[in-house]
């Protein structure tokens, strides 16, 4: 597996699918100058870039995807290709604890965890650990935003992701897809000691130029990794392409309507 190529597929094809989610949250919370944002699992940094363009000081942390993090540095840090870089932007490879020493003056005023949960076995547990480290870095009553997949019946991509579950057997206990549950976000917030303070749903359709782009984009999410281990790359590519055919339009593009959900919770 070429991890650099997959990170590039994520940043160029798949990551933009969640832009409506980022925009809805930032608008609702009035993100702008004066916002000090800590982005958990920031990946290649598109959500951070959008917040920075609104005037926020942003810090992104990620311990799992160094290839994506390298792309975030290209986008955001002074002295790189980004023309919108700010001196108070930080990209940290590691955990939220590692961001403590680089946050500058004052506590974070917003914490985001935009990687949607509710589709991988065990993903909510991993998020809980991140929140336990991150919330002490924020002030009292700070909003913490969690994101998740909407109901399977409202997400066309759910039928495609079932390919990952079926092919991953007998490795389903590994990182394989599962249907989203209605209270996934609330349960994570409760375990982290956070107080729910509003939620919303956002339409985030997945649109691709063609079938090949759709396959590359979906594979870049990591949701098919267990399936590839169990069945092989060629079989996953074949069955994923077949599952996408119902969503192919007359001009060759692929279009899948989806709804994602976000929860705003507050630190104690």
pTM of the model: 0.91
- Residues 150-173 have a mean pLDDT of 82
- Do 151 and 223 touch, CB atoms closer than 8 A? no
Q: Does the pLDDT at position 149 exceed 80?
A: yes
Which of 161-170, 177-186, 201-210, 232-241 is predicted least confidently? Answer: 177-186
Alpha helices (H) along the chain = 3-9, 19-28, 46-53, 66-76, 96-99, 123-134, 157-168, 184-191, 211-219, 225-231, 233-244
**What is the torsional sign of CA 125, 128, 130, 132?**
negative
Residue 241: CB atoms within 10 Å: 15
- The pLDDT tens digits for 65-109 are 899 999 999 999 866 544 455 668 999 999 898 887 655 556 899
The tens digit of pLDDT for each residue in 179-207 reads 666 688 999 999 999 999 999 999 999 99
Domain architecture of the chain: domains with CATH: 3-155+177-206+258-266 (3.40.50.150)
């Amino acid at each position: 597996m070429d991890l650099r190529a997959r990170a590039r597929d994520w940043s160029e094809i798949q990551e933009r699918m969640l832009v409506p989610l980022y925009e809805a949250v930032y608008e609702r919370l009035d993100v702008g100058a004066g916002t000090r944002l800590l982005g958990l699992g920031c990946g290649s940094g598109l959500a951070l870039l959008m917040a920075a363009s609104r005037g926020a000081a942003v810090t992104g942390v990620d311990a799992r995807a160094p290839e994506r993090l390298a792309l975030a540095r290209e986008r955001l840090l002074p002295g790189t290709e980004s023309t919108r870089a700010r001196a108070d932007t930080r990209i940290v490879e590691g955990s939220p604890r590692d961001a403590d020493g680089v946050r500058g003056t004052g506590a974070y005023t917003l914490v985001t965890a935009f990687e949607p949960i509710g589709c991988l076995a065990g993903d909510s547990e991993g998020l809980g650990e991140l929140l336990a480290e991150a919330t002490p870095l924020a002030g009292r009553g700070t909003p913490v935003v969690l994101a998740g997949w909407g109901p399977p019946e409202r997400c066309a991509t759910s039928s495609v992701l079932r390919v990952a579950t079926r092919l991953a057997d007998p490795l389903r206990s590994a990182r394989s897809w599962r249907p989203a549950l209605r209270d996934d976000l609330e349960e994570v917030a409760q375990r982290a000691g956070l107080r729910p303070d509003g939620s919303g749903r956002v339409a985030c359709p997945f649109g691709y130029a063609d079938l090949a782009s759709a396959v590359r984009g979906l594979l870049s999410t990591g949701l098919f990794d267990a399936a590839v281990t169990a069945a092989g790359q060629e079989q996953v590519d074949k069955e994923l392409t077949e599952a996408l055919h119902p969503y192919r339009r007359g001009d060759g593009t692929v279009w899948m309507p989806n709804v994602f959900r976000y929860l705003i919770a507050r630190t104690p």
